[in-house]
Amino acid sequence: MRIAIVNDVRAASEALRRVVSSLPSHTVAWIAADGVEAIAMTKRDRPDLILMDLIMPHLDGVQATRQIMASTPCAILVVTATVSGNISLVYDAMGFGALDAVDTPTLGPTGELTGAAALLEKISTVAKLLGTSTDARRPTHPIEAAAAPRLLVIGASTGGPKAIADLLQPLPRDWPVAVVVVQHVDVAFSQGLATWLGERTGQTVRVAEHGERPQAGAVLLAGTNDHLVLTKHGTLEYREEPREIFFRPSVDVFFESVADHWRQAGVALVLTGMGRDGAKGMLRLRTSGWHTVAQDEATSVVWSMPKAAIELGGACQVLAIDQMPRAITSRLTAG
């Protein structure tokens, strides 16, 4: 995989170069010192992955991510000195299409690398995302949800945080609808993402707890590196299986469990994202009577997931993100 490095600190760039070069499957495509240079170099030579710093002169990593994803989109991993210390900027970058974030490895006085393993793990996940499609989970039990609210389920990946915020903000507060979101995000960021979404939208957003039920008027976010599933008892649980699906949490796994176990048909959305996760699950929901909507290409940061759902026949509608709130509200509050 050809990987570009964007960082204004020479020692950090060298640490990243050493990490990338440590495996024969990775090569350094180029190194840029700031966001302006990164945009220009991406246009001339688009890499497979960009390791993007956040705090840089001239143009920071958030705006560089926004401009690159708008003009020459490619996979971007935020690599910054402290993810926890820049968490708001991390979510902003993810909203514009960054896939994930990790702390920058450091070089010790004798040249030893610290933090390389975490970065290599993130790069490995991106490599799978770029070259693999998922296998959907095979359903098991057909059952129920007694006295359950109407249900809106959402799957998203690259660019998802901003799309989800844009979707949730216009929706009614305290309406008789439960919302469950599966966003590809590491467990380290799930609680912060829930807080960020709540602050951005005014909705009640929190991480789903193992064993609880979807609740009307609340937005529950999948919050671990295991898959979120709906059980035959109408409760939400986290499960390791199926282990072979590397998207964790998987939209397909969640959607298929909902098709198996939720009594009343609701609305399912597949939003912006890289890969094919959600396509098979959306088709299952559509054939179970659900109204299914895929985000259109023009408003998606990356159109792979919605496109896959459309091509598989899983989407009843294709809408821009700003058209979805009215359509959802009309569908879920009618009758």
So which residues are the catalytic ones? 157, 184, 277
User: What stretches of 247-290 adopt beta strand conformation (E)?
Assistant: 267-270
Amino acid at site 103? D
Residue appearing with tokens 């968490």: 87
Dist. CA 47–CA 15, nearest whole Å: 19
SS3 68: helix
Strands 113-114 and 106-107: antiparallel
In the structure encoding, which two tokens stand for residue 223, read together? 């919050």
Output the CA torsion sign for 280, 277, 267, 176: positive
Dist. CA 49–CA 127, nearest whole Å: 9
Nearest to 269 by CA among 214, 230, 306: 306
